[in-house]
Chains A and B, each alone.
Chain A
């Protein structure tokens, strides 16, 4: 069968979500952010909630999430997305409110905001990208940087005596009464992408059922700042990040 005979509208099985804009993402080639953006857009499209979803973008690489997912967006100050999301959800209880944050934003400067929003059980969705490094500012140590990992501010590797330990904030979040669903996923292969999509969908459904805060960590690769190719970075992530940040549901009630 000729390719031309296959490429016909009736044979279409997958195309770019209509909730994504046509703007080319500024992310580096192979960046996990792009996959997660796509999944969020697809879930919003499949649930038919484009008109009811309000996003809050962080400071960091995902600051420009608002250029790529065609919903209403608020761009928060560094670490404060859960505060914006709290007010938005309280003032519009029937909307879906998604805070999208990176590890520096959520697990360092914004620890107070994320802990308290989760502890209050705000009916919001938090998507947490953990790539163990500050991406936008050029590869400095993040709270989640692994011991021994070289970054711009730990050029000889992270040392516990100098830099403290990597923070498993998701495990802390899971202990808070206000959270209903806390999971850790990844997006480096088709199977993991499908699981992450299910997790994002579940989180949004929880929000509609007012079950509390849903928190989806996505262990991600930052190949540029890890100084690897995208394919090498995904492999390095599997070998080094997953043992310390094990995948799976930590809490689901």
Chain B
């Protein structure tokens, strides 16, 4: 029997990092995610698995420590919340440009600016559309439970190394702070230095053997034609990710006439809205994107023939709804309901907004 514990989402991230064989965590305290590093420091994984845990002087430094660690072919991660993630965007652009694997956890708080420490989903655009400079994409996973916080650490590292690309777990203060049952998976051991040389020695900075020239990890290429070629290769990779890595969950969509689209904690609340709607005889379904990039646009398109309307439900001013509308492309009415600044909607409130928008 796998061990089951009652844990906060943030604590689950920390436990998962150790058990999925992470080599290093580099972070800076910020509410509402500080429990990640606090838990790691309590667990002292450097005594057991050998994992490095370091409190950096800033989020800027944290992400650049990830850059250095990722250059070494090591499994490295950080966690932060919205303002800290803004500081990390430059680093993520560099890492995407240099094609480096890493895991970044964003436990979103309400913004803009210093905002509030309550949960929000206002960083969807930042995560999915870039955040930093240049044409790049990061893979974005949106957990809706403490178990998914745990599981997506493993999935995130797998995807990061599969595509040599940064991966973000886009969570929020609600999932980070709430306590739920979490099942600890079978531990994965850390790779040895020798195994890293064998697997990643052709690109990573592991020390240059006599048999090859120095490996160089850089996102710089001053010749326009070379830089364009790099961009084309990146875009090809992002297309492969779009084709292979879409993840989503459909609830009661088979007979649905109306569909809610929501991710993360919003999706959890929408599950209760479905019950309210069904009790009133309204055939409502829910599509929960698990990957925000790549976005499950085909999954949405497949449901369109049976639908009278879609409502995107988000803890922001309407961000993912733009991607829903692009997928729907005008064939079905797409409405939006959201709250901002750390306020959270109730299932009844969502149903009320839905009834009003669709005159039901």
Contact = CB atoms under 8 A, between A and B. Distances in A.
A touches B in complex, CB < 8 A: yes
Size bracket, chain B contacts: 35 or more
A52 interface: yes
Interface in A38-88: 50-54, 56-57, 63, 66-67, 69-77, 80, 83-88
A73 B215 contact: yes
B271 interface: no
Size bracket, chain A contacts: 35 or more
Contacts of B18: none
Interface stretch (A89-97, A203-211, A225-233): A89-97
Nearest to B51: A91
A72 B65 contact: no
A92 B193 contact: yes
A74 B72 CA distance: 9
Contacts of B90: 77
A238 interface: no
A238 B5 CA distance: 67
B41 to A, nearest CB: 15
A138 to B, nearest CB: 15
Nearest to A63: B220
B67 A112 contact: no
A251 interface: no
B72 A112 contact: no
Contacts of B193: 92
Interface in B198-230: 204-210, 213-220
Given A66-B216, A80-B64, A90 B54 contact: yes
B217 A112 contact: no
B219 A75 contact: yes
Contacts of B218: 57, 66, 73-75
A121 B259 CA distance: 57
Interface in B12-70: 23-24, 26, 52, 54, 56-58, 60-62, 64-69
A113 B215 contact: no
Interface of A: 21, 50-54, 56-57, 63, 66-67, 69-77, 80, 83-88, 90-92, 95, 112-113, 115-116
| Leading 7 A-B pairs by shortest Cβ distance | A84-B68, A75-B218, A83-B64, A87-B68, A72-B205, A80-B64, A116-B57
20 contacts: A53-B208, A57-B218, A66-B214, A71-B214, A73-B214, A74-B67, A74-B217, A74-B218, A76-B67, A76-B68, A77-B64, A77-B91, A80-B60, A83-B60, A83-B64, A83-B65, A87-B52, A90-B24, A91-B52, A91-B76
Given A54-B72, A75-B217, A84-B71, 4 more contacts: A80-B64, A83-B64, A90-B24, A91-B24
